[in-house]
Amino acid sequence: MTPSLLVYDILAGSAETEEPSFLDNVLGVLALLAIAAFFVRGYYRERIAISDAETRAKSLSHSERDAIERQVLDVIYKGRDHALSIREIASEISEHERYVIRIVRPLVKWGQLEVTSAHDESLPTDFNSFSKVAVTAEGDKRLRERDPVVTYNEYFSVGDNSNVVNKSVIVNSNVGTYRSRYGTDTVEALRELEHIVRGSNNDEAVEVLDGFLAEARTEEPSRARMKALFSSLQQMVPAVSGAADLASRIAAMFS
């Protein structure tokens, strides 16, 4: 063999790759499994955190929800241009983003917050980490209210003339709007309605009530929506239908 051919054979042989050993294959598989386990574990941890956050937000009592809503409004108001993203709010109050979304969503619905960016308008409840919300005039008004427990827990006579705590927080704080639009008698009916629903300790019914009262004070209230919400309240809180002539007085608002 000539020297040139010998050199060629040596170079060709060195270029050949060695077959991986059985041990190398096992180590490679174990490494892939470890990486997969890491991501799966992270995924399930996040799912558990999301479930826990949504459960805690859903199980808040009315007073607890009122407190956290005010905290969120205050945190957002202190942000630049009175606005913050969902992620920024979560960081400020040390909560999961899904928890914040559960709190923010009804505030947007009631007009106390408005979405300003990173939000799909075709999906009004499709919030994400970068959805930015700002405090509205209505939200600012709520922040300026005194403690509703002190301001609005008045006593009034119902039923057997026993004194009970008046839970008509929203009606009392917007009494001028309701009176000018619907009259004094309707204001009293709304107070009674709010007192009954809040006294039922049914958080879902309270949320429906808040939606009904918010709709009633909009510039152009939807009678169909008000009727549907009130019908839901009657089903969720039977005492609403049981109160003397209350249903007919409320129905006059959207009939």
pTM: 0.45
Q: What is the Cα–Cα distance from 206 to 64, expressed in whole angstroms? A: 13
Q: What is the Cα–Cα distance from 240 to 231, expressed in whole angstroms? A: 10
* Beta-ladder partners of 165: 155
Strand, helix or coil for residue 113: strand
CA distances from 105 to 74, 85, 101, 109 (A): 16, 13, 6, 6
| CB 112 within 8 Å of CB 142 | yes
Mean pLDDT, to the nearest integer, of 238-247?
A: 83
Q: Kindly list the domain boundaries of the chain, sorted by start residue.
A: 20-59, 60-144, 149-251
pLDDT score for 26: 75
* Beta-ladder partners of 162: 158
> How much is the mean pLDDT over the chain?
76
pLDDT score for 230: 92
Q: What is the Cα–Cα distance from 248 to 254, expressed in whole angstroms? A: 10
Q: Is the dihedral of CA 6, 10, 12, 13 positive or negative?
A: positive
Question: To the nearest whole percent, how much of the chain has pLDDT over 90?
Answer: 2
pLDDT score for 215: 87
In our burial notation (b when 16+ CB lie closer than 10 A, e otherwise), range 134-155 reads bbbebbeebeeeeebeeebeee
Interval 89-128: pLDDT, tens:
988 888 888 888 988 988 888 888 888 875 444 444 578 8
Encoding tokens for residue 132?
């930015």
Q: Is the dihedral of CA 222, 231, 61, 152 positive or negative?
A: positive
pLDDT higher than 80, residue 186: yes
Mean pLDDT, to the nearest integer, of 239-248?
A: 84
Within a 10 A sphere around the Cβ of 106, how many other Cβ atoms? 16
pLDDT score for 164: 34
Interval 30-52: pLDDT, tens:
888 888 777 777 677 777 877 88
pLDDT higher than 50, residue 158: no
Tell me, which fold does domain 60-144 have in CATH? Arc Repressor Mutant, subunit A (1.10.10)
pLDDT score for 143: 75
| CB 110 within 8 Å of CB 163 | no
